Chain A
Amino acid sequence: MFNHLKLENLSLKNDKKTLLYNLNIEIVEKEKIAVIGPTGAGKTLFLNLLCFGLRPSEGNIFVNTENFWKKNNLFQNQIRKYFYLIPQIPDMPYRQRVISALHASYINKWSLLKVIASLFFPFKKKSIELVLKELGLFEKIDETIENLSGGQRQAISLARIFLSQPEVMILDEPLSAVDPNRSDFLLKKILEYQKKTMATIVCSLHQPDIAKKYFTRVIGINNGKIVYDGTSNKLSQTQQEKIYKGK
C-alpha cells in the first residue's frame, strides 16, 4: 500500500548541466496535485522522478519510509506497480490494436503465462468495452493505433490508467492534444476515477485556471527549481507570473 512519498534534496544532472535543483517535497495519499510551469521547465523530468523512471543524481526518495533506490530489484518492482505514468506523447505501438493496447495496462499484475494467454483470449474485454463506452470510443476497439487521431490516442492512453487502477496516477499533460470541450470532459472523467479508486493524482498542466479549479495543491516549477508549493486557492496572479516568467 502506498501512503507517503518524500523527496529529499533531490537533484538531476546530465553530462553538461543540472536539470532539477534540490527538490524537497512530500506527497501524501489521496492528494490532488497539479504541476504547472513554462515549457522546458522540467515538469516531465519531475514526473519521471516521481514514478522512479529516472535515477536521481543526488538525494533520496522515500516510499513509506523505505529508501527506494537503495532497495533490491524485487522490492523496487513491487513498489513500481503502485505507480502508473501516462506520457505526454502516447506511447503505444502503431501496429497494435486498441484492445491489446489496453490489455497492456494489466500485464504488470499478471503472471507470464496469463500474459501469453491474453494475447489469444482477451480476458478483460468487458471492462475495456465499458471504459471505451464512457470515453465515446467504443467503435474503435478493433482499430489499430495508427488509424486513430492524436486526441483519440491520448484518450486511449488515459483509458490505460483507468484500467490499471494504480494507487498513484501520474499524468503528463493529458489534455494537450484535445479541444477545450473534450479536455473538460476528460478531466472530469479523470477526477471521477480518482474519487472512485481513492488514488493520489499528480498531473502536469498548461492551464493555471484548471489547476486552481480542480486540484487541491499546486506545484510550480521554473527553470528546474520549485518556485511555488501550496494550496491551489492561495495561488495569486503575482505568483503565477513568478512561475511562468521567473520574476
Chain B
Amino acid sequence: MKNYFLIKNTVYLVILFLTIIFSGFIIEKSNLLNLNFNKVEEVFSLFFPLEYSKEFLFITIENTFITVSIATISILISTFISLPMSVFCSKNLSSSTIFKNKNKIKDLSRYFLKTNFLFLRSLPEIIVALLLVRILGLGVNAAILSIVITFTGFMTKVFIEIIDSSNSISSENLIRSGAGKFKVFFYTTLPLCSKEIISYIVFRWECAIRTSLILGIVGAGGLGQQMELALKMMDLNEVSTIVFVLIFLVYICDQISNLIRKVFV
C-alpha cells in the first residue's frame, strides 16, 4: 500500500515537471518574454509636458461641456420615455392582473411592449452609434440618439423590476377603489420606490458620461472625438491633458451623483 502512494505521487510530480518544461518551451517559441523596453521611455517622454495653451484649454472645456450635456440630455429623454412605459408594463399596477381578468389581449400587448425594449438594449451603444453616424452624419445627434435607444431599454427593464418588487398592497387598494394606474403610480409607487428610481437614474447618468466619451471616438462629438483626433495627429501632449481632464471629469460626476443621492435618497 505504501508503495502505491509513492508511485502515484512520483507520477504526479513527473507530469508537473513535464508541464513546466513544455510551457517554458512554448513561451520561448512565441517570443513572449522578449519585450523591448528600449522604445518605451522614448514614447513616454512624448506625452510630456502637458499642453496648456489658452486656445487648446478653451476647446477642451467646450468639449467637456458637450460631453456632459450629451449624457444629461440623453438621460433626461430616456427617463421620460422609460418611466411611463414601465408603468404600462408593470404587473403590480395592472388591474387585469390584480382582479384576475383573463384578458389575453392585454397580456399579449404587455409582452410585445416588453420584447420591444429587449430589442432596444440588445445592441451595444457603440454599434448603434456607428450605424447612426452613417445615417445622421458626424455630430452630437448620433451620440444622443444612440444613448437614448440603448438606455431606454435598460432603464425600462429596471424600472419594471423596481415597481413589481415594491409592496403591492397600497397600490392595489387604490386601484380597487377605481383609480387609474398612472394616478396610483404618482401617489403610491413613486413614494415607495423614489429612492431606488433616483439612485438608478443617477447611476445611469454616470454610465452615460463614460459612454459619450467612447462614442466620441466613433465621431459623435465631445471630448472623445477631440482625443481621437489628437491621437491621429500624434499630438501626444494634448492627449495627456485630455486624459487628465477625463479623470477629473469622472471624479466630479461621482461627487455630483453622491450629492444628489444624499439630498434625495
Contact = CB atoms under 8 A, between A and B. Distances in A.
Nearest to A114: B183
Contact of A77 (B173, B174, B178, B191): B178
B63 interface: no
Given A95-B192, A96-B191, A85 B183 contact: no
A55 to B, nearest CB: 5
Interface stretch (A35-43, A99-107, A218-226): A99-107
A95 B194 contact: yes
A108 B179 contact: yes
A110 to B, nearest CB: 7
Interface in A70-95: 73, 77-81, 83-85, 87, 89, 91-95
A104 B172 CA distance: 13
Interface string B165-186: 0010110111011111011101
Contact of A112 (B176, B180, B188, B192): B180
Most B CB contacts (10 A, CB to CB) among A73, A87, A104, A119 go to: A104
A104 B99 contact: no
Nearest to B179: A108
B187 interface: yes
B176 A51 contact: yes
Contacts of A96: 188, 191
Contacts of B178: 77-81, 108
Given A107-B183, A112-B183, A166-B177, A87 B169 contact: yes
Contacts of A95: 191-192, 194-195
Interface in A24-63: 51-55
A108 B174 contact: yes
Nearest to A110: B183
B188 A104 contact: yes
Interface residues of B, number: 25
B177 A115 contact: no
A54 B194 CA distance: 29
Contacts of B170: 91-93
B100 interface: yes
Contacts of B101: 55, 73
Contacts of A148: none
A75 B79 CA distance: 34
Interface in A174-225: none
Interface residues of A, number: 34
Given A55-B100, A110-B183, A115-B183, A93 B188 contact: yes
Given A107-B183, A107-B184, A112-B182, A85 B177 contact: yes
Given A93-B191, A100-B191, A103-B187, A83 B169 contact: no
A22 to B, nearest CB: 21
Given A52-B99, A91-B170, A85 B176 contact: yes
A80 B183 contact: no
Nearest to A92: B170
A87 B95 CA distance: 18
Q: Which 10 A-B pairs have the closest CB atoms?
A: A80-B178, A81-B178, A108-B179, A96-B191, A93-B191, A91-B170, A108-B178, A104-B187, A93-B192, A107-B183
Interface of A: 51-55, 73, 77-81, 83-85, 87, 89, 91-96, 100, 103-104, 107-108, 110, 112, 115-116, 119, 164, 166
Given A73-B101, A164-B177, 11 more contacts: A80-B176, A80-B177, A81-B177, A93-B167, A93-B188, A104-B187, A107-B174, A108-B183, A110-B183, A112-B180, A112-B183
30 contacts: A52-B176, A53-B172, A55-B99, A55-B101, A80-B176, A80-B177, A80-B178, A83-B176, A84-B177, A85-B173, A85-B176, A91-B173, A92-B170, A93-B167, A94-B192, A95-B192, A95-B194, A96-B191, A100-B191, A104-B188, A107-B174, A107-B184, A107-B187, A108-B178, A110-B183, A112-B182, A115-B183, A115-B186, A164-B177, A166-B177
